[in-house]
Amino acid sequence: MEVQGGGEPMRMRRTAGILAAVVLLSLLTACSRENLQQVGLVGIEGTFEVEPAQARVGEDVRMKAVFTGVELDEGANVQFVVIAGERPVTLKHRHEGGNTFTAEYRFEQPGKYDVDLHLYYEDVHIYKKKQVSVQ
């Protein structure tokens, strides 16, 4: 014996479940861990400056990161990484107080270099990238 209309609610629930899974997957794809602070889901934000952006060979380049939304100290897992060729160089940084971290690097060869900033705090990873041109 078949009940009329009994399949309709089941089909609607299945469709709603599939739709919810698709929306969740889309959100996860669009909001990777590195971009969470940009969409306001984490509350931790960071600014990243590299000066000068147009450097000369042998000149020190200063990197500065300032974070908000969390109290950090000298033990924070902050990394400045210079991508020189295929070999990344992780720089020693200084905690300047007030959630500010700095590092310097002297480029010995002309070219374009990527400089990455990473903050690992609990289960949050913030990532920023700048480019430096060295002449």
Closest to 44 (Cα-Cα) out of 6, 81, 20, 70: 70
Residues found in the chain: 135
Q: Which residue has the tokens 């990484």?
A: 81
Closest to 36 (Cα-Cα) out of 130, 121, 131, 116: 121
Instruction: Write out the two tokens for 12.
Output: 């609607």
Q: Which residue has the tokens 């010995």?
A: 108
**Structural domains in the chain?**
42-134 (2.60.40.1930)
pLDDT band for 75, please (50, 70, 90 cuts).
very high
pLDDT tens digits for range 9-37:
666 666 655 655 544 444 444 444 444 44
Q: Residue 24: what pLDDT?
A: 47
27 by DSSP, 3-state: which?
A: helix
| Buried residues in 16-33 as b, exposed as e (16+ CB within 10 A) | eeeeeeeeeeeeeeeeee
pTM, two decimals, is 0.68
Q: For residues 106 and 64, what is the distance between their CA atoms, to the nearest angstrom?
A: 15
pLDDT tens digits for range 85-115:
888 999 999 999 999 999 999 999 999 999 9
